[in-house]
Structure 1
Amino acid sequence: MKKLFALCLIGLSFYPIYAQKTTELPMPPEFAKAITKGTRTTNGFPGKNYWQNHSDYQIKASLDPATRILKGTETIVYYNQSPDELTQLVLRLYPDIFKRGFQDDGSQGIAEADKNETGVLLSKVLLNGKPAKTQRKGTNLFLPLAQNLLPNSQITLEIDWQYTLPKTTHIREGTYFNTSFMVAYWYPQMAVYDDIDGWDELDYTGQQEFYNDFSNFDVEITMPNSHLVWATGVWQNPDEILKTEISDRYRKALNSDEVIKIVTKEDHKKGILTLGKENNTFRYKAANVPDFAFSASDTYLWDMASVVVDDSTKRRTVVGAVYHPSSRDFREVTSYARQCLNYFSHTLPGVPFPYPSLTVFNGDGGMEFPMMVNDGSFGDEQAAEVTAHEIAHTYFPFYMGINERKYAWMDEGFAQFLPNDMEFFINERTFKPQQDNAEWFIGFISRANDAPLMMPSYKLSSDVYTISAYIRPSQAYAG
């Protein structure tokens, strides 16, 4: 932890390094106010009065592969650990980005066919068992409170909802090969209330990513018996779902240093991989994580292994790859992922990988979630690089709780820098990521659209965002 914290302090020091010629370091007034309150400091440490809110989620959801309709019901217990009386609650309805007429930032190219009239359809919203007043604006849901939520108290929300997963648009989630799915940004989620900005009311417009409380999840996902489900957390009931021979391989892989093929082409040829029920309910639990995502497929292959991430306790993390049979580069991804966890845990940053499992799903692009990764198939040349980058995000932003909506450079820059030496190690080809980054940076710096590092990420777009979030900070981390 000391090594990781040192890196955080290095990152926080970039701004004052360039401001040493001034007599006083400029400071946003909201941050100065937090210092006065004792929740923040100027040295990167939390203040003596620092606090965070959190939630407990219980979610039951079903996904119909034919219609792509996801239906869910959730109970959220929200804990107000702040010293403030809250007059409202704010939740995020991410799929409202697909609602016709919503002004996204254009960065993701939403297909017209994926737009709809309703976005997230809410059929029930209760606060402490009573119907709630609701106000929707952009991708946020506002719930005014009849009585203020007092400090050190809690409130229970019950929400029923549904929406249709996009068919052709892939904004970190989507439908692949018609019957395989990566499902993210999918449930009504509590927004963050913090000591700097109060409620985070920024709309989700397609580019900005994570800023979430650390919360606990107990999730049940029901699908037809043709599909398997992989998700954030620890799978609670594999023996209730998998056929015996598949279950035996799964159990063996939990403690195996060698990659074990859990589901093969031959298994698919034989037919159903699960026991004889018409539908299966997969249950996953995750503690103290900022988000929950899941994937599902009826055609993908599945490899698994594990690796010791903590020498003192011998704790292992299970790693796996779930991929389309045509994605030849994914045959090595479980091995790459295993080596990533070993390197990150024991070399740089030298902090044991914090989660019990990690699954790399073969979808599109490159996107991280707690214990889940959504990666496209890029061929052997980039498989190691993309795998390493997305797994590195486990530390930044997930482990450190970074506000990526405002300061994407803190986690994207770290994830761009951290795997450099390791990528050489796991891939023998000629690969020069740091040199490539430097050449790109040199060609961009000091131009008219070169933005300061501390410019809020939600204000940036296109190449300006890429340079500010990825390239510039990775060069600074590399020294």
Structure 2
Amino acid sequence: MKKILITCLILVFGFEIQAQEIKNSSYNPHTLFSPLFYSHNGNQFRSANGTPGPKYWQNRADYNLKTELFPESNTIKGNVIIKYTNNSPDNLDYLWLQLDQNLFKPDSRGQVMISGNSRYGNRGEKINGGYILTNIAVSNSEFTYIIEDTRMQIRLKKPVSKNGGKTEISMDFEFKIPKNGSDRMGHLKTKNGEIYTIAQWYPRMAVYDDVLGWNTKPYLGAGEFYCEYGDVDLIITAPDNQFILASGELTNAKKVLSKKVYNRWEKAKKSDDIIEIIKESEVIEIANSDSKNTKTWQYHMDNTRDVAWAASKAFVIDGSKINLPSGKKSFAISAQPIESNGQDAYGRACEYTKTSIEYYSSLLYEYPYPMAINIAANIGGMEYPGIVFCGWKAKSSSVWSVIDHEFGHNWFPMLVGSNERNFGWMDEGFSTFVNELSARHFNNGEYKNKKQLVTEKLAYNFLDESNEYIMLPPDGLNEKNIGLQLYYKPAVGLKLLRNIVIGKERFDYAFKEYIKHWAFKHPTPVDFYRSIENAAGEDLSWFWRGWFINNYSLDQGISKVEKTKDGYTVTVENLGSFALPVFITAETANGKKIEHNQGVDVWMRNKSFKFFIPTTETVNKVTLDANKQLPDINRSNNTWTKK
């Protein structure tokens, strides 16, 4: 009897499903909403709720850096002492370091991948770059080492012990500064002197974590960086007509600045107005002066994953106080050549820097660094803790956009320390997402129309299922797709979650919780997914699966509108492979608009769904997503008009 009943039920329900199938639909609700999205449970290191676990650990690298700039040969020489702490539960028999400057050796692995016109190449410059390393030493152990491209392995006779073991690595280094260093660093000739932007410039510890162990991906150009946190003491010697600006706080300002410049510097730190620290007329005087002596500048930064710096005798410099929510203060600085100093360009850079930092400090998490420095140079846009480099030829809204974007990165990934080599979207996409909010806020929306994440125009590209996808590492993407897949698609995804799927109040709370828990730590994509789901109280596995891991396409369409006794029934089909909520707008003969919104839940088991519009008036038109909030790839089926 039971067997007969089960057979009958299968036949009945099988017929019902077959009757409702849409012939031209590629949608499968059981694929999109399939359970068991997460491949592992939470553990003592990373909790199931997306926060660091009770036994989360992280290694630490503190640096003492001494370096000297030689402008006549465009060369850097220096010494690094790394004080490394192994907080992991593993004894470490070997250590890995990053040697990013080796990208600029002619035979590097990255040079093979980079085309001549690539953003990440030398742009036609032939340079015999890379490190010259000498006087390599390790405390407490005999060692040998190998260098493979942009990585260095130090093999220890005595391992660095687990749970707090320490060692110290030191070496001298030297390299020639590339003119166009993968759009991360370089030097620019201006009419009043060279501008040096120095980044990814010293041997740094690779990250050892509980996810991959040693993170040893080479530097190939597109993938940025992933570093341990620690304190940095930075000493830079340069000709005395060079002004040095670096990550952290200038600790010997009174010694290296003239009395006049020092007084302006101190005044700017306390002023809400923009103060000229070095004026255009003074730049010309400096440029024409001889430089026979040197100065040594000292900077310090706490709990940072990197430091970078800039030097020039051509800098016009402005400064202003940054007001933080707790009452603490930071210091906004902009430095640009005279050629970039107009009010339609970097003459407003200090204003943009100050406003951007203040806004994100209120929106996300308080800015942790003593200074925020913008440098106009021959870098399209690149970020480091407390300092950013932006393209010197930018004008008007483009100056605002690049400064705001790069300072957004001081939250992602400088503060929330994700792995840029593997997951570029966790910094580029997140910064792009908050940039739109910032643009609406700045100066009563002065640039709000210049930073719109218009899903309509991008939908055809980033929802192409044959295209590359968000989760690919930057070096694994075609360069033309990096902007789409690492910047815009993840940013639009967060915007959809905030505005459409979850709602602003719940999303904003969850997003801030993610930042709070992972500040100065190393989250993975799964930690982000779990954190948002738990704090917002929503199962979003279908969204991560369709938007981030795959390029599932959205195509909602109206197949039928039927008049009933009490209104109209609208049949909506899901024709793509993705799903989002449904927004229906019915327009009656007398111009009245009736709106019906339905959450994504209707697509958990349906390929089509009937929605009832209650009205006694005649309906002339029905439209899906009339406000074009959704990335629908085919709007030709979104409207029904009464014939």
Task: State the identity as a percent.
Answer: 27
CA distance in 2, matches of 1:99, 1:375: 25
In the TM superposition, 1:206-221 aligns within 5 A as 206-221=221-236
Which moves more between the two structures, 375-384 or 192-201? 375-384
Structure 2 residue aligned with 1:302, among 310, 317, 322? 317
Which residue is equivalent to 2:165? 153
Which moves more between the two structures, 442-451 or 261-270? 442-451
In the TM superposition, 1:228-247 aligns within 5 A as 228-247=243-262
Cα offset for 1:180? 1.3
For 1:75, the aligned partner's letter is I
Q: What are the superposed Cα offsets for residues 421-478 of structure 1, whole Å, 9 maximum, x if unpaired?
A: 3223436656535545424421303325433433344422323332221111111111
Which residue is equivalent to 1:65? 71
For 2:380, the aligned partner's letter is G
Relative to 1, partners in 2 of residues 1:70 and 1:379: Cα closer, same or farther, differing over 3 Å?
same
Cα offset for 1:18? 11
Q: Is the 8 A contact 2:439 2:446 kept in 1?
A: no
Q: What are the superposed Cα offsets for residues 99-123 of structure 1, whole Å, 9 maximum, x if unpaired?
A: 111121314122453431x620011
Structure 1 residue aligned with 2:490, among 452, 473, 476? 473
CA distance in 1, matches of 2:290, 2:57: 46
* Partner SS state of residue 94, structure 2: strand
Larger Rg: 2
Which residue is equivalent to 2:333? 320
In the TM superposition, 1:41-440 aligns within 5 A as 41-104=47-110, 105-106=113-114, 107=118, 108-111=120-123, 113-116=125-128, 119-128=130-139, 132-151=143-162, 152-177=164-189, 179-271=194-286, 278-310=293-325, 312=326, 314-327=327-340, 328=342, 329-346=345-362, 348-349=363-364, 351-363=365-377, 364-377=379-392, 378-426=394-442, 431-433=448-450, 435-440=452-457
- Considering only aligned residues, what root-mean-square deviation do their CA atoms show, in Å? 2.4
For 1:57, the aligned partner's letter is Y
Q: Is the 8 A contact 1:267 1:273 kept in 2?
A: no
* Partner SS state of residue 252, structure 1: helix
Which residue is equivalent to 2:34? 22
Structure 1: gaps (5+ residues):
1-16
For 1:443, the aligned partner's letter is Y
For 2:153, the aligned partner's letter is F
For 2:57, the aligned partner's letter is W
CA distance in 2, matches of 1:421, 1:21: 30
* Partner SS state of residue 404, structure 1: coil
For 1:454, the aligned partner's letter is M
Which moves more between the two structures, 165-174 or 53-62? 165-174
For 2:208, the aligned partner's letter is Y
Relative to 1, partners in 2 of residues 1:343 and 1:113: Cα closer, same or farther, differing over 3 Å?
closer
CA distance in 2, matches of 1:66, 1:131: 39
For 2:470, the aligned partner's letter is L
Relative to 1, partners in 2 of residues 1:132 and 1:281: Cα closer, same or farther, differing over 3 Å?
farther
Q: Is the 8 A contact 2:244 2:312 kept in 1?
A: yes
* Partner SS state of residue 88, structure 2: coil
CA distance in 2, matches of 1:397, 1:430: 25
Relative to 1, partners in 2 of residues 1:18 and 1:159: Cα closer, same or farther, differing over 3 Å?
farther
Cα offset for 1:405? 1.5
CA distance in 2, matches of 1:112, 1:132: 39
CA distance in 1, matches of 2:89, 2:77: 36
Q: Is the 8 A contact 1:438 1:471 kept in 2?
A: no
Q: Is the 8 A contact 1:242 1:275 kept in 2?
A: no
Aligned pair count reads 452
* Partner SS state of residue 454, structure 1: coil
Q: Is the 8 A contact 1:226 1:273 kept in 2?
A: no
Q: Is the 8 A contact 1:232 1:293 kept in 2?
A: yes
CA distance in 2, matches of 1:434, 1:161: 42
* Partner SS state of residue 367, structure 1: strand
Relative to 1, partners in 2 of residues 1:87 and 1:412: Cα closer, same or farther, differing over 3 Å?
same
Cα offset for 1:373? 0.4
Relative to 1, partners in 2 of residues 1:430 and 1:48: Cα closer, same or farther, differing over 3 Å?
closer
Cα offset for 1:419? 2.1
Cα offset for 1:49? 1.6
CA distance in 2, matches of 1:18, 1:305: 56
Which moves more between the two structures, 273-282 or 326-335? 273-282
Q: Is the 8 A contact 2:381 2:402 kept in 1?
A: yes
For 2:179, the aligned partner's letter is K
CA distance in 2, matches of 1:18, 1:307: 51
Q: Is the 8 A contact 2:333 2:350 kept in 1?
A: yes
Structure 2: gaps (5+ residues):
1-28, 497-643
Relative to 1, partners in 2 of residues 1:266 and 1:436: Cα closer, same or farther, differing over 3 Å?
same
Q: What are the superposed Cα offsets for residues 157-215 of structure 1, whole Å, 9 maximum, x if unpaired?
A: 11101000012445211001162100000000000001111111100000011211111
TM-score, length basis structure 1: 0.89
Cα offset for 1:272? 7.6
* Partner SS state of residue 166, structure 2: strand
Relative to 1, partners in 2 of residues 1:440 and 1:368: Cα closer, same or farther, differing over 3 Å?
farther
Cα offset for 1:288? 0.2
TM-score, length basis structure 2: 0.67
Q: What are the superposed Cα offsets for residues 55-108 of structure 1, whole Å, 9 maximum, x if unpaired?
A: 110011001011011001111110000000111010011110011111213141
CA distance in 2, matches of 1:18, 1:76: 52
Q: Is the 8 A contact 1:114 1:168 kept in 2?
A: no
Cα offset for 1:19? 7.2
Q: What are the superposed Cα offsets for residues 316-374 of structure 1, whole Å, 9 maximum, x if unpaired?
A: 1100110011113000010111111221122x22x221211110001120111000000
Relative to 1, partners in 2 of residues 1:437 and 1:205: Cα closer, same or farther, differing over 3 Å?
farther
CA distance in 2, matches of 1:274, 1:370: 32
CA distance in 1, matches of 2:187, 2:150: 21
CA distance in 1, matches of 2:159, 2:54: 25
Q: Is the 8 A contact 2:412 2:427 kept in 1?
A: yes
Q: Is the 8 A contact 2:436 2:453 kept in 1?
A: no
Asked if residue 462 in structure 1 is aligned to residue 475 in structure 2, the reply is no
